[in-house]
Amino acid sequence: MPFLGLVCILSLAVPSFGVFTACTDSWRTETTLTIGGASAKGEGMQCNPKLPMGGQCLQSINPSCDFNYKSFSYRCCGDLANPPNNGNDKPKCPSGTLNVNLNSVVRCVMASDDDTCPNGFKCTTASNVERSSVNGTVNPDVGAGKNPHLCCKASTSPSVAALETFEGEGLAPSVVPHSPDELIDTVYFGKHHVGLADDWSAMPDMMAAPLTSILLHSEQINGHFYHVLMFDASTNKDVILFMVNIKGRSGEGKKLTIPVPPFTDEPKPAVAYVVYDKNADGSYIYSEKYVAPKHNTSPHRFIVLVFKSVAAIPLATSADDKDPSKLNLLPSSQASHKTDFWPTSKGFGAFSTVSDFLRGEKGQQLLGKPIAGTFFYLTT
């Protein structure tokens, strides 16, 4: 009889196995790649929730070790790299306001009288859902339509959300002099979509291709100029991308496309990179072409900032490379004076760290305060 009683209790506590999925949330999927490259059978790779994720949940975005009722064991889960836009996308808080724990989602029920969100958060309709033009209901087959509600920070403006994020994470003013005006919605590396505080440290090929576009929360202003800086905040030296004078196009809405050479706009955008010299003495070098970041054994935090100006940033030429009012991105072979992004260890260089550049006279006068920003984790 005691055994039968236990069976009855379990049958009430655990739903039918037919309704279970390998991972609890629809925007997450089981990890199938094991350490050695073999494909895991069944419901994904087994894991131990008491151990760090880095060594066991490979090829996972925001990895976690979740209990799987199908296999009745712990399995690796991670966010989908390429959301299918079928209603199962990860819901986002509107206007850059904060969700619980930055990149995690706490779902809620809008019609519930109970307080389903933590203190200081309220149940909100996600920004990436589509409403019907007939009756205002959410279209369940688009974006996050099947999971339209999540807990978001209550009474938080986009600027406050950005300030709380960058200061709360110790990024401003220690690394970035000024918190951005708002958070970036998404950054795109080809097919990969990266959100705030995402952990891509188990996806080593994510930045094999350069940054391709940035989704802002505000519309572009036609004719204004945008400037993008992406760097490794952990080293404060690896500049993955610094591109200035990207012409704003109102027809592209909130999505800022990173132009690729040959540039056709006038004035032409200018670009610079500072990369670790893998083949020489281990110092940093200036590059005019994209180089994927060096491999790190532990997750590094990468920051993406967007700046805006009404006029194009003036660029130095070999004839006026000493002009302090102009940004000098010349390679040393064309310069008679120190260039702004050529490392000091390589001669002709004024660059030491990203923070020093942003705090310096040119950084403050030519770039000023970023209009948008985000960060994520990667080991490359």
Over residues 187-196, the pLDDT tens digits come to 999 888 899 9
How far apart are the C-alpha atoms of 369 and 184, rounded to whole Å?
14
Note whether 340 and 356 are within 8 A (CB).
no
Say yes or no to pLDDT of 55 above 70: no
Token digits of residue 159 = 């600027």
Say yes or no to pLDDT of 149 above 50: yes
How far apart are the C-alpha atoms of 228 and 255, rounded to whole Å?
13
What pLDDT, on a 0 to 100 scale, did the predictor assign at position 325? 94
What pLDDT, on a 0 to 100 scale, did the predictor assign at position 4? 43
The whole-number average pLDDT for the span 2-7 is 43
pTM: 0.87
Note whether 145 and 87 are within 8 A (CB).
yes
CA atoms within 13 A on the CB side of 54: 13
Say yes or no to pLDDT of 154 above 50: yes
More confident residue, 380 or 179: 179
Say yes or no to pLDDT of 95 above 60: yes
Q: Which of 33-42, 284-293, 321-330 has the lowest mean pLDDT?
A: 33-42
Say yes or no to pLDDT of 180 above 90: yes
The whole-number average pLDDT for the span 26-45 is 60
The whole-number average pLDDT for the span 282-294 is 81
Ordered by start, the domain boundaries in the chain are: 15-79, 81-156, 160-378
Tell the residue number behind the tokens 């904060």, with chain if given.
98
- Long-range contacts of residues 195-198, Cβ cutoff 8 Å, at least 24 apart: 195/90, 195/92, 195/103, 195/374, 195/376, 196/102, 196/103, 196/165, 196/374, 196/375, 196/376, 197/102, 197/103, 197/169, 197/375, 197/376, 197/377, 198/61, 198/62, 198/79, 198/103, 198/376, 198/377
Over the chain, what is the mean pLDDT?
84
Q: Which of 29-38, 50-59, 236-245, 330-339 has the lowest mean pLDDT?
A: 29-38
Strands 182-183 and 372-378: parallel
How far apart are the C-alpha atoms of 62 and 202, rounded to whole Å?
9
The whole-number average pLDDT for the span 349-359 is 94
More confident residue, 320 or 110: 320
Confidence label for 100 from pLDDT (cuts 50, 70 and 90):
confident
What pLDDT, on a 0 to 100 scale, did the predictor assign at position 54? 62
The whole-number average pLDDT for the span 31-44 is 51
Token digits of residue 90 = 């990860």
3-state secondary structure of 305: strand
Confidence label for 344 from pLDDT (cuts 50, 70 and 90):
confident
What pLDDT, on a 0 to 100 scale, did the predictor assign at position 165? 92
End-to-end CA distance of the chain: 57
Say yes or no to pLDDT of 205 above 50: yes
How far apart are the C-alpha atoms of 102 and 339, rounded to whole Å?
38
How far apart are the C-alpha atoms of 163 and 182, rounded to whole Å?
8
Note whether 173 and 351 are within 8 A (CB).
no
Q: Which of 16-30, 40-54, 202-216, 267-281 has the lowest mean pLDDT?
A: 16-30
How far apart are the C-alpha atoms of 91 and 195, rounded to whole Å?
11
What pLDDT, on a 0 to 100 scale, did the predictor assign at position 32? 59
The whole-number average pLDDT for the span 232-257 is 94
The whole-number average pLDDT for the span 321-337 is 90
Say yes or no to pLDDT of 275 above 90: no
Say yes or no to pLDDT of 15 above 90: no
What pLDDT, on a 0 to 100 scale, did the predictor assign at position 82? 74
The whole-number average pLDDT for the span 68-81 is 84
What pLDDT, on a 0 to 100 scale, did the predictor assign at position 357? 96
Say yes or no to pLDDT of 18 above 50: no
How far apart are the C-alpha atoms of 58 and 248, rounded to whole Å?
39
Say yes or no to pLDDT of 6 above 70: no
How far apart are the C-alpha atoms of 304 and 366, rounded to whole Å?
17
The whole-number average pLDDT for the span 142-146 is 86
The whole-number average pLDDT for the span 253-257 is 95
Q: Which CATH number fits domain 160-378: 3.90.105.10, 3.40.50.800, 3.90.280.10, 3.30.1360.30?
A: 3.90.280.10
